[in-house]
Amino acid sequence: MTDATQAPGGVRRAYPSRRDLVAGSGTLGLAAAAPAGAAIGRADESLDPAWLQAVLERYAAFEGKASGGPGDEACGAWLEGELRRAGYACRRQVFDAPFLDLRAASLAAGAASAGLAANPLAPVTGPRGVSGPLRLASVPGDLQGAIALVVLPHKRWVTLVDPMAARPLEDALARGAAAAVLVTTGPTGEAIALNVSPHRPAPARPVAILAPRDAGPFLAAAAEGRPATLTLDGTAGRRPAYNLIARLDRGAARTLVVSTPRSGWFDCAAERGSGLAVWLSLARWLAQADLGVDVELAANSGHEFEYLGGEHYLEEAAPPPERTAMWVHVGASTAARDWHAFGPLRPLPSADPQRVLTATADIIDRVRPAFAGLAGLEAVLEATPLTAGGEMTNVLKAGYRTAIGQYGVHRYFHTAADDLRCTSGELVRPAAQAFRAAIAAALGRPAAG
């Protein structure tokens, strides 16, 4: 999915205006005090909320972060410049990633019409679309020639690999549906994009995603089997994307690896941006701190394709396990905003606790104190392939024995509404500070600023 599909059909927001949010929480006005270009250039300020806010603003300004798209490419180039100025030697690891440039994405039934998000690995329809009776996939029977409406249960959705999404979709297509539309029932009413795996067979027919808030008239139409048209007109294929790898050699025997995803659905200001701000703050600190290790940083593309860029880095470019002192992965929703959910969603000045921190058994007791008091992160779990989540699962399976990994699913995760209202420099600072303390403690070094 690329910039053209970031807000299909004009996404309606479930939260207050930016002015209301600033007045209500007092945390988003900081960017005005620290222009991005000036603030990011001052390494000694990389725990300052204004500096972190400037990073968030800069990341958000690149807009859509689809792998290999304009926003992802520009973000990588910006990070490369920042890291070179901090003293890192940088290189790009190029690989091919899928893409889908949509010109039109809609579902129409009678007078009802709504915009859609799409599965970038599924076929497009062309400008004329696919027409047929709209039917509920939950009703048993033949779906031959129909557009199947697959209503998913309530969840903070992440991926189409999830059996709770994959099985009903596969069942609808197996019963002959000409196309399928997933209703991603979740915590906001927004359409939730789903990660897809390039290693699994792609759907043979068009697949789209409909926002739950728009589903009412289509549920009624599907109950009666009324005619509908699904249009997914665009260009699909593969294009180059790249992981940014930055290294600081100090002649040490082993390397500290710090990774983070860079790409994602939509603008992903909190999902990706908050972790990337932590990562860049760590990069500034590690360029000056003496921790007795070499440092390698990776900002990976291809994330929405089940960690495709992370796989390439791990298999082709990462230091081998025996020469790695520790791997730290700063993943999704590191410091996203929490919301009151009584009636209209209202912003809170605190972080969404639906974030998880894991650490391997050899360092977990040294890591826990650093995250004390940080909602969600304070309950540090032992990192295993079953608990780690995200890219860290692959890292552990590859034999890296000492690791810290973080991931999360905030309320507006994978939606077009994940913008700067969903995070702030004030929310990022405690996480950035905790990661510094945890890294120093795990490596047996004194805590630093």
State how far the Cα of 376 lies from the Cα of 316, in Å rounded to an integer.
33
32: exposed, middle or buried (Cβ count in 10 Å: 0-12, 13-18, 19+):
exposed
The DSSP line for 190-257 is: S----B--TTSPPPSS-EEEE-GGG-HHHHHHHHHT-EEEEEEEEEEEEEEEEEEEEEE--S-SSEEE
**How far is it, in rounded angstroms, from Cα 297 to Cα 274?**
16
Instruction: State the virtual CA torsion across 268, 421, 3, 168 in degrees, nearest 10.
Output: 60
If you average pLDDT over every residue of the chain, what do you get? 90
The domain locations on the chain are 3-9+17-97+239-442, 100-237
The pLDDT assigned to 415 comes to: 97
Query: Residue 139's closest CA among 94, 183, 171?
Result: 171
Per-residue pLDDT band for 343 (boundaries 50, 70, 90) equals confident
Tell me the whole-structure pTM to 2 decimals: 0.90
Amino acid 3: pLDDT:
32
Q: Return d(Cα 214, Cα 223) in angstroms, integer.
A: 16
What is the domain class of 3-9+17-97+239-442 according to CATH?
alpha beta
What kind and span of H or E run contains 59?
helix 49-61
Same topology, domains 3-9+17-97+239-442 and 100-237? Answer is no
CA distances from 372 to 14, 246, 355, 365 (A): 32, 30, 14, 12
Q: What pLDDT, on the 0 to 100 scale, is given for residue 437?
A: 97
The highest-level CATH class for domain 100-237 is: alpha beta
Is the four-CA dihedral 192, 97, 83, 377 of positive or negative sign?
A: positive
pLDDT in tens, 61-92: 999 999 999 999 999 999 999 999 999 999 99
pLDDT of residue 16: 35
Q: Taking 50 as the threshold, does the pLDDT of residue 33 lie above it?
A: no
Q: What is the mean pLDDT of residues 126-144?
A: 97
pLDDT over 90 (residue 389): no
Task: Give the model's pLDDT for residue 448.
Answer: 54
What tokens were used for 92? 């790009």
The token duo for 57 is 């603003």
- Asked whether residue 12 carries a pLDDT value surpassing 80, the answer given is no
213-242 pLDDT per residue, tens? 999 999 999 999 999 999 999 999 999 999
**What is the tens place of the pLDDT at every residue in 365-379?**
999 999 999 999 999
**Tens digit of each residue's pLDDT (9 = 90 or more) over 280-296:** 999 999 999 989 999 99
42 falls in which pLDDT band (50, 70, 90)? very low
